[in-house]
Structure 1
Amino acid sequence: MGFSLDGVGLVHANGYRALADIRLNIAAGERVALIGASGAGKTTLLRVLGASLRPTEGRLRLLDAEPWAVSPARLRRLRARIGLVHQAPPIPPRQRVVTAVLAGRLGQWPLWKSLASLVLPVDAEGACRELARLDLADKLFERCDRLSGGQLQRVALARVLYQRPDLLLADEPVSAMDPALSELTVALLNEEATRRGVTLVASLHAVDLALRHFPRVVGVKDGGVLFDLPAAAVTEAQLRELYAAEGGLPLAGAPVAPALGISPLRCS
């Protein structure tokens, strides 16, 4: 269950065109990186794929449904199958990490279970397991306003891993992390998508991360698709055209690193 965009465009209420004639077909289980300069339209495209922004033009088919042609109830169910890792995670600062992670299942749980989990976490062990994959198990009951920006991004990723979505979207998920941790986190995203056979689309500012970890790369420029190629086929000339406004290619600069270590804290 992937998605297709046929001539999708989006014009904001103030008249600014954010997307123009996007044509993409991504099959179930594909792993795709979106790259491009700041302001190119990558975040807007991900919000369209997350069914949180309605296109003003074209046709979108997402997980075997047309989001804006279904009932509100079915649209809610569809959104519950999509996981989005935000660049700046929308996590309440005074919320505990365990509650933030368990929020990944709120769209799937009945109302009573969601409310009960705010008082007493209903699956602290499950939250701990996902945090351990990101070396954050020791932060399980920490308040989110006591974490660094990189730690918050990993908490947001743990929440999406706990959600187990059919479509995994990530918007600059490593922007607050150092190069080595960025490498490990992007590798984990790809491992999760491959293990469960789900579709992964991630926007990345660091070109080298995208080329190392994703089989397919889409270059986004001025709200449109400049190229859509296998990673091995992307040329330096294409990258320089894509980032001409920034004067150089943004790189993470970290060598390939081993898999994430597991926190010694037991999840029990």
Structure 2
Amino acid sequence: MGVQLEGVGLTHPGGVTALQGLDLRIAAGERVAIVGSSGAGKTTLLRLLATGLTPTSGQLTLLGEVPARLRSGALKKLRSRIGLIYQSPPLPPRQRVVTAVQAGRLGQWSLPRALLSLCYPLDIRGVEQVLAPLDLTDKLFSRCDQLSGGQLQRVGIARVMYQRAGLLLADEPVAAMDPVLANHTLALLNRLAAEREVTLVASLHAVDLALKHFPRIIGLRAGRVHFDCPAGEVTAELLDSLYANDGLGSAQPASTGNHAGTEASASAPRTAQRCL
């Protein structure tokens, strides 16, 4: 089993509701992109799937487990099977790339081996193998503070690839990359996920990239599922209603492939629209 949400909601301690009544099922090995405007709940949903947040209502099932029912040891084991690619990877500035990538398996190694890996690279060849498709082998022993933003994002991706997680989550994984590199990186992520039969869920602001690289698109609006469609069935009308903003008449993001430039109206439909 991949991911299942049944009536999941999340309200922050301050009383702000971030997610409401989400009913989703993502099969093992499926590749899904989540799109929506800023504040729609994309990052919150990914943090929930990474077990960094706990639902305040409903039930979340990940890789056949219900995180809310697990004790600390079992929860730690589950987390070692979940990889999260951050928009801004939390990499120590003075850490070497080889060490940062090896950290992907800290949760799977014994304590002595994990501690040793922080001081001495134990698997240089294995790290090189995941850096090669990302064009980073020449940065193997570079410090993280010597890298560009795009290179840091790729190191974060390499770390999750090295982890060999069963559930791969990516929060705006190519935001700091130029268009050519972003296309290359998303194609690589999808190819590796397909080859390893890994479930991949990514949030993206660039709708054209989501439509190009992901078979299934979920649109979030105000913490709710607005639509859930195969990429080929996502229409300009669906995107207009997803990005419509009362009082502003704002358009959907300009970088949306064949849908670019379609204006959103304040009267756009606001109820969830499901294609599946």
TM-score higher than 0.5: yes
In the other structure, the counterpart of 2:269 is none
The amino acid across from 2:33 in the alignment is A
Structure with bigger RCO (C-alpha 8 Å, 6+ apart):
1
Q: Is the 8 A contact 1:239 1:249 kept in 2?
A: no
**73-82 or 238-247: bigger deviation:** 238-247
The amino acid across from 1:165 in the alignment is A
Q: Is the 8 A contact 1:35 1:217 kept in 2?
A: yes
In the other structure, the counterpart of 2:253 is 249
Distance 1:47 1:108 in 2: 21
Is the counterpart of residue 220 in structure 1 residue 224 in structure 2? Answer: no
In the other structure, the counterpart of 2:9 is 9
Distance 1:45 1:216 in 2: 16
| 1:112-261 mapped onto 2 (5 Å cutoff) | 112-245=112-245, 246-251=250-255
| 1:45-84 mapped onto 2 (5 Å cutoff) | 45-84=45-84
Instruction: Please report how far the alpha carbon of residue 8 of structure 1 lies from its aligned counterpart in structure 2 after TM superposition.
Output: 0.5
Q: Secondary structure at the match of 2:47?
A: helix
Q: Is the 8 A contact 1:35 1:204 kept in 2?
A: yes
In the other structure, the counterpart of 1:256 is none
Instruction: Please report how far the alpha carbon of residue 248 of structure 1 lies from its aligned counterpart in structure 2 after TM superposition.
Output: 2.9
The amino acid across from 2:255 in the alignment is L
Distance 2:241 2:185 in 1: 28
Q: Secondary structure at the match of 2:101?
A: helix
Q: Secondary structure at the match of 1:37?
A: coil
Distance 1:152 1:70 in 2: 33
Q: Percent identity?
A: 60
Which runs of 5 or more residues in structure 1 are unaligned? 254-268
RMSD, aligned α-carbons = 1.0
Q: Is the 8 A contact 2:205 2:253 kept in 1?
A: no
Distance 2:15 2:251 in 1: 28
The amino acid across from 2:183 in the alignment is E
User: What do the CA deviations read for 1:231-267 (whole angstroms, capped 9, x no partner)?
Assistant: 11111011011122353324177xxxxxxxxxxxxxx
Q: Secondary structure at the match of 1:142?
A: coil
Distance 2:214 2:175 in 1: 17
TM-score (norm 1): 0.92
Distance 2:254 2:128 in 1: 34
Instruction: Please report how far the alpha carbon of residue 52 of structure 1 lies from its aligned counterpart in structure 2 after TM superposition.
Output: 1.1
In the other structure, the counterpart of 1:260 is none
Q: Secondary structure at the match of 2:192?
A: helix
The amino acid across from 1:52 in the alignment is G
Q: Secondary structure at the match of 2:169?
A: strand
Is the counterpart of residue 85 in structure 1 residue 89 in structure 2? Answer: no
Q: Is the 8 A contact 1:5 1:59 kept in 2?
A: yes
Q: Is the 8 A contact 2:7 2:20 kept in 1?
A: yes
Q: Structure 1 residue runs of 4+, over 3 Å off? A: none
Q: Is the 8 A contact 1:240 1:249 kept in 2?
A: no
Distance 1:148 1:252 in 2: 26
Q: Is the 8 A contact 1:216 1:231 kept in 2?
A: yes
Q: Secondary structure at the match of 2:33?
A: strand
User: What do the CA deviations read for 1:81-111 (whole angstroms, capped 9, x no partner)?
Assistant: 0000001101111111100000000000001
User: What do the CA deviations read for 1:156-192 (whole angstroms, capped 9, x no partner)?
Assistant: 0000000000001100000000011000000011001
The amino acid across from 1:80 in the alignment is S
TM-score (norm 2): 0.90
Q: How many matched pairs?
A: 253
Q: Secondary structure at the match of 1:54?
A: coil
Distance 1:4 1:126 in 2: 33
In the other structure, the counterpart of 1:263 is none
Which runs of 5 or more residues in structure 2 are unaligned? 258-276
